Amino acid sequence: MTTLYTNIGELTTNDVRLGDGSAMGRLRDAALVEEGGRVVWLGAAAHAPAADVRVDCAGAAVIPGFVDSHTHLVFAGDRVDEFVARMAGTPYDGGGIRSTVAATRAATREELLATSAARAAALFAGGVTTLEVKSGYDLTVEGEVRLLEVARDLTGETTFLGAHAVPSEFSDRAAYVELVAGAMTRACAPHARWADVFCDRGAFDVDEARHVLTSARAAGLELRLHGGQLADVGAVRLALEMGCASVDHCTHVSEGDLAALAGSSTVATLLPGAEFSTRSAYPDARRFLDVGVAIALATDCNPGTSYVTSMGFVIALAVREMGLTPDEALYAATRGGAAALRRSDVGHLGLGARADLVILDAPRCAHLAYRPGANLVTRTVRAP
Ligand code: NIG
Ligand code: FE
């Protein structure tokens, strides 16, 4: 069966070989044909072939679906009191993770499935078509497996984050790091694609993170890392040393680390929802792009630092607060996220790509940043 999307006023493909020759690969008055979940034809609407189903986009903008490459969707409870206190001046230090751990341990699997699915549905309704989901709010062997099983219901891009915090029942942090690197990694590896560590001030240091990542790699997991959210403790260098697909936050990053990132295959994933919700200074994304660092934008959806389920909001923040143009932000939220997940089949709409696309309620995708807070998604199409 074929589906023709036609009368697309502005089609962003993110394929430099298409359209206007820019990285955005932009076509006007365009059409696209999907078959078997893939893009099989693109071009001028006037030359579009016939198809079994015809979708008239009525001049709207169409973009690749967002790739949200960093979320902590599986949790119970909320931390609104912590947010309210922060807005009155209490700084974020990661300590609240333990209260979400307590709530998550107390929740049933059904509750976790229902609340996570509801958050994922909000992301999908806002244009997300590929989603990464981390564990990290149970911090026991069986409990982390349970969170990954719930995450697997939502996505294949699951991440083991046993090294998120030291749980309160451990007075000996070295013993907890050994548990994570040993039994917990072995139990979780079959349920995850990725491993991640919160490597930061007040969380895990570089040596602890290296130990956990090394065991995770030996267990067959691919690597990513939280780094530079609260302070520069050397996490970006560790991410480069370990060949991580992505180092996430990068709020505190040196010029030297940016230069090293620029020559690497590690993506810098920026999470402006976290700066918003912790009232922190935003990283200047221009510094990254000007030296050639590949960037992604993601929601970081979690109850502590970024209870954000809208990639449109993330794009608006990145444009207004981090110095990106609307095109740069859209690219980072789509093809950038795909690179952060080492995926070449999503994040763009070139021939052969997954036909994951979003029809906007706007004639140009720049409206995403221009009209923040509005729901500009008419329809999210996730390829079967
Ligand atoms: O990405 N930084 C570590 N993890 C989350 C926050 C976790 C929490 O506070 O619950 C983040 O911001
Ligand atoms: Fe995070």
Shortest-distance Cα residue to atom 2 of ligand 1: 198
Q: How many domains does the chain have?
A: 2
Give the integer Cα–Cα distance in Å for 198 and 144. Answer: 15
- List 357's β-bridge partners, or say none: 64, 381
Average pLDDT, stretch 93-108? 96
Rounded-to-integer distance, Cα 317 and Cα 311, Å: 10
Residue 35, pLDDT score: 98
Mutation test residue for ligand 1: of 70, 72, 251, the one with most atoms within 8 Å of CB: 72
Which position has the token pair 């962003």?
12
CA distances from 292 to 75, 284, 289 (A): 36, 14, 5
Letter string b/e over residues 285-297, b meaning 16 or more CB atoms within 10 A of that residue's CB: beebbeeebbbbb
Q: In the structure, which protein residues have their CB atom closer than 6 angstroms to any atom of ligand 1?
A: 72, 94, 96-97, 100, 198, 226, 229, 274, 300, 302-306
Residue with the smallest CA separation from ligand 1 atom 8 is: 304
Q: What is the C-alpha separation between 158 and 132, in angstroms, rounded?
A: 6
Tell whether 215 and 305 lie within a shared domain: yes
Q: Based on the fold, state whether residues 194 and 314 are members of the same structural domain.
A: yes
For the chain, counts of helices (H) and of strands (E): 15, 16
Q: How far is the CA of 302 from the centre of ligand 1 (A)?
A: 7
51 Cα to the center of ligand 2, angstroms: 42
Q: Which of 126, 134, 66 is nearest to 100 (CA)?
A: 134
Whether 304 and 75 have beta carbons less than 8 Å apart is answered as no
Query: What whole-number distance in Å separates Cα of residue 30 and Cα of residue 17?
Result: 15
pLDDT the model gives residue 346:
98
Confidence at residue 227, expressed as pLDDT on a 0 to 100 scale: 98
**So what's the pLDDT on residue 315?**
98
- pLDDT tens for 281-320 read 999 999 999 999 999 999 999 999 999 999 999 999 999 9
The answer on 375 and 321 residing in a single domain is: no
Same domain? For 90 and 56 the reply is: no
Which ligand is located closest to the Cα atom of residue 229?
1
Nearest ligand 1 atom, CA 230: 2
Relative orientation angle of helices 97-106 and 141-152, to the nearest 10 degrees: 80
User: Is the Cβ–Cβ distance between 41 and 55 less than 8 Å?
Assistant: no
- Among residues 31, 40, 35, which one has the least CA distance to residue 59? 31
Amino acid 12: pLDDT: 98
CA of 29 from ligand 2 middle (Å) equals 39
- Give distance in angstroms: CA of 5 to centre of ligand 1: 39
The DSSP output letter for 189 is G
CA of 44 to the centre of ligand 1 (A): 45
Q: pLDDT tier at 48 (50, 70, 90 boundaries)?
A: very high
Q: How far is CA 167 from CA 56, 138, 177, in A?
A: 53, 8, 11
Q: CA 79: distance to chain centroid?
A: 21
Q: Are 247 and 224 in contact (CB under 8 A)?
A: yes
pLDDT greater than 90 at residue 234: yes
For the domain that residue 376 is a member of, what is the CATH number?
Answer: 2.30.40.10
In this structure, which ligand is nearest to the CA of 79?
1
Nearest to 225 by CA among 184, 258, 267, 264: 267
Q: What is the pLDDT of residue 146?
A: 98
Same domain assignment for residues 146 and 21: no
Which pLDDT does position 185 carry in this prediction?
Answer: 99
Tokens (6 digits) for 275: 């700066």
For the chain, percent of residues with pLDDT exceeding 90:
99
**What is the separation of C-alpha 325 from the centre of its chain, rounded to a whole number of angstroms?**
19
Q: How far is the CA of 340 from the centre of ligand 2 (A)?
A: 14
Helix residue ranges per DSSP H, the chain: 80-87, 97-106, 109-125, 141-152, 173-179, 185-188, 206-218, 235-242, 255-262, 272-278, 285-290, 311-322, 326-331, 337-340, 367-370
What whole-number distance in Å separates Cα of residue 308 and Cα of residue 298? 10
Ligand 1 midpoint to CA 196 (Å) = 12
User: Which atom of ligand 1 sits closest to the CA of residue 300?
Assistant: 1
For residue 333, what is the domain's CATH number?
3.20.20.140
Q: CA triplet 59, 64, 70: central angle to 5 degrees?
A: 140
Q: 150 and 8, same structural domain?
A: no
Name residues with Cβ closer than 5 Å to ligand 2, which is an ion. 300
| Nearest ligand (C-alpha, residue 306) | 1
Question: What is the mean predicted confidence (pLDDT) over 214-233?
Answer: 98
**Residue 175 shares a structural domain with residue 274:** yes
- 324-337: per-residue pLDDT in tens? 999 999 999 999 99
Through-space distance between the first and last CA atoms of the chain, rounded to whole angstroms: 12
Residues 105, 244, single domain; the answer is yes
Write down the pLDDT at residue 52. 98
Pair 274, 250: CB distance under 8 Å: no
Nearest ligand to the CA of 78 is: 1
The region, left, alpha or beta by phi > 0 then psi within -120 to 50, assigned to residue 14 is: left
Q: Residue 340: pLDDT above 90?
A: yes
Q: Are residues 175 and 287 in the same domain?
A: yes
- In 3D, which of 4, 9, 10, 38 has the Cα closest to residue 25? 10
Q: Say whether both 181 and 85 belong to one domain.
A: yes
Q: 384 pLDDT exceeds 90?
A: no
Looking at every residue in the chain, the average pLDDT score rounds to: 98
Residue 87 is part of which domain span?
Answer: 66-340
What does the pLDDT read at residue 136? 98
Render pLDDT for 175-218 as a digit per residue (tens, 0 to 9).
Answer: 999 999 999 999 999 999 999 999 999 999 999 999 999 999 99
Answer yes or no: do 361 and 278 share one domain.
no
Residue nearest to atom 12 of ligand 1 (CA): 305
